[in-house]
Structure 1
Amino acid sequence: MPNKLLILYDQPEDEAAWLAHYETVHMPIARSIPGLQKAVINRVDANLLGGSSPYFVITELHFGNQAAFDLAMASPENRAAGKDAMAFAKGKFKILAVSEQG
């Protein structure tokens, strides 16, 4: 049962413009999602197996339990976050619903 979202953002063409939008527009919308307990932004520094990383940022959105996750996913705030992601990162991200284990 998922209680967390992982959003994997691909490398953007213009890192500065991407980060400006992500930090000042997108994450304030995401942080307004009901039931969100914690948002963790991970900036990818390196691919330790060699080569460049396909990802630029990996965001974690944590919810307390399955019920909170379900309510959050159905919320207008979540729809607004999705709409914004499609505007600034269309085709350049993946969203995974995961269950945190131990």
Structure 2
Amino acid sequence: MFKMIALFKKPEDPEGFDDYYFGTHMPLTEKIPGLRKTEVTKFTGSPMGESPYYLMCEMYYDSKEAFKEASKTDESKASGKDVMKFAGHLVTFMFGEDVNG
């Protein structure tokens, strides 16, 4: 599987971020054609103490090609535009392949 990972730094207003992220942004994201599943992790710390990251979302696709096709859709464009609107200064994106199958 191929995945897109969004890492979010800690927002100034975590409660407001959560309300928007789970109430508005995730419903947009979950409409993306070809998106197989999402996994969201809230960080509680690190071995060095507080983590610089607040939240991670992993978005799974069947393959890199499936991700590329999904990225062309209106739903994907809407999700991307939305995340940049409310968290563009907080988010870092990465791509990866799930080596566990």
TM-score (norm: length of structure 1): 0.92
| Alpha-carbon distance in 2 for matches of 1:78, 1:3 | 16
Match of 1:58 in 2: 56
Give the partner amino acid of 1:101. V
Is the Cα contact below 8 Å between 2:4 and 2:95 reproduced in 1?
yes
Question: What is the deviation of 1:66?
Answer: 2.3
Give the partner amino acid of 1:53. S
Instruction: Find runs of 4+ consecutive structure 1 residues off by over 4 angstroms.
Output: none
| Alpha-carbon distance in 2 for matches of 1:67, 1:30 | 18
Give the partner amino acid of 1:15. P
Match of 1:23 in 2: 22
Match of 2:31 in 1: 32
Please say if 1:100 is aligned against 2:78: no
| Alpha-carbon distance in 1 for matches of 2:75, 2:35 | 11
| Alpha-carbon distance in 1 for matches of 2:35, 2:86 | 22
Q: How many residues align?
A: 100
Question: What is the deviation of 1:52?
Answer: 1.5
The CA RMSD over aligned residues, in Å, is 1.2
What are the within-5 Å matches in structure 2 for residues 62-81 of structure 1?
62-81=60-79
| Alpha-carbon distance in 2 for matches of 1:91, 1:20 | 18
Q: Percent identity?
A: 30
Is the Cα contact below 8 Å between 2:44 and 2:50 reproduced in 1?
no
TM-score (norm: length of structure 2): 0.93
Match of 2:46 in 1: 47
| Alpha-carbon distance in 2 for matches of 1:80, 1:86 | 10
Unaligned runs of 5+ residues in structure 2 are none
Match of 1:13 in 2: 12
Unaligned runs of 5+ residues in structure 1 are none
